[in-house]
């Protein structure tokens, strides 16, 4: 039976997650909150909080969001992927947009008009 090879994130993404985790850890420390309190407020275990603070990619985004909420930083979440300059350029480059044409409904015998 072949062995399952774990997925490796690209190095820049791994570093970004580690940076986010470090920022979360610093925010917790600045608030002088112990891990146990933040983990309890976020509804996760201390082990999971430790993984979040280390930028572990195996932790769900929901856990990251819960920790941000517990620290009062959930207002930062709407900023994720907000400035999609590539997407806007691609959208602007489209010459022709297909529009769906609505056909009139057919009246079938026995159905209400």
Query: What is the pTM for the complete model shown?
Result: 0.71
> Can you spell out the DSSP letters for 46-110?
HHHHHHHHTT-TTS-HHHHHHHHHHTT-GGGGGGTT---HHHHHHHHH-S----PPPPPPPP-TT
For the chain, give the number of residues: 113
For the chain, the straight-line distance linking the first and the last C-alpha, in angstroms and rounded, comes to: 62
Interatomic CA distance for residues 98 and 80, integer angstroms: 29
Domains of the chain and CATH, by start: 11-74 (1.10.260.40)
Structure tokens belonging to residue 91: 């959208």
Q: What is the pLDDT of residues 16-69, one digit of tens each?
A: 999 999 999 999 999 999 999 999 999 999 999 999 999 999 999 999 999 999
pLDDT, position 113: 57
């Amino acid at each position: 039976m072949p062995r399952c090879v774990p997925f490796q994130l690209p190095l820049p993404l791994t570093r970004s997650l580690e940076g986010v985790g470090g920022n979360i850890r610093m925010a917790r420390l600045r608030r002088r909150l112990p891990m146990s309190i933040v983990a309890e407020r976020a509804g996760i275990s201390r082990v999971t909080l430790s993984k979040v603070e280390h930028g572990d990619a195996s932790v769900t985004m929901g856990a990251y969001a819960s920790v941000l909420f517990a620290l009062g930083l959930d207002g930062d979440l709407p900023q994720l992927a907000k400035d999609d300059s590539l997407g806007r350029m691609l959208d602007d480059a489209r010459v022709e947009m297909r529009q769906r044409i609505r056909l009139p409904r057919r009246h079938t015998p026995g159905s209400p008009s």
